[in-house]
Amino acid sequence: MAARVKQNIVRGSNFHFNLDKKIATSYGWWRFVGEINGQLVFNSYPYSKTTMKHQSKARYWMEEHDMQPDLVIESHISLDHSLFYSLTKSHLSAELNSANDKHASIAGRPASRAYQARIERIQHLQLMLMSLESLYAD
């Protein structure tokens, strides 16, 4: 991996990962690794091709330091955004409703790979929503 490591801080081209604070950012502002309510969260949203490379580097460094995320979520919102919870919940709910509507429109047809993929996506969205809600539960 072409990255510089100094004092547990990994730096690369537009990538920064503080291993002690467990914070990774892409382009200096989009936080995709961080702690929320004491839980380590990894945002796997494919924001851009470059950010996907940054996420891959972060996964590598997390493995090297035995860091396992408590939650992997897909959100276009930066983890440090003050409205991360409400915007992510709204987005995931809308995507889930859309996926359910598409699923209902093909119900009763012979099962296909696309059908199975849609069921798996619905289950994944449901799991992310439940995990997000439990992360913020009092």
pLDDT over 60 (residue 1): no
pLDDT in tens, 41-98: 999 999 899 999 999 999 999 999 999 999 999 999 999 999 999 999 999 999 998 8
The token pair at 66 is 């035995």
Number of separate domains in the chain: 2
Predicted TM-score (pTM) of this structure: 0.85
For residue 107, the model assigns a pLDDT of 64
In a domain, 108, yes or no: yes
For residue 116, the model assigns a pLDDT of 82
Among 73, 105, 121, residue at a domain's last position: 73
Classify 41 in phi/psi space as left (phi over 0), alpha (psi -120 to 50) or beta: beta
pLDDT over 70 (residue 111): no
Between residues 115 and 26, the one the model is more confident about = 26
Q: What is the DSSP string of 102-134?
A: HHHHTTTSPP-HHHHHHHHHHHHHHHHHHHHHH
pLDDT in tens, 9-33: 999 989 999 999 999 999 999 999 9
Domain interval for residue 96: 84-135
Same domain, 67 and 19: yes
Reported confidence tier of residue 99, pLDDT bands at 50, 70, 90: confident
For residue 110, the model assigns a pLDDT of 66
For residue 77, the model assigns a pLDDT of 94
Q: Give the span between the Cα atoms of 73 and 118, in whole angstroms.
A: 18
Look at residues 59, 69, 8, 75 and name the one whose alpha carbon lies nearest to residue 34: 69
Residue 75: CB atoms within 10 Å? 22
Same domain, 13 and 69: yes
Same domain, 47 and 88: no
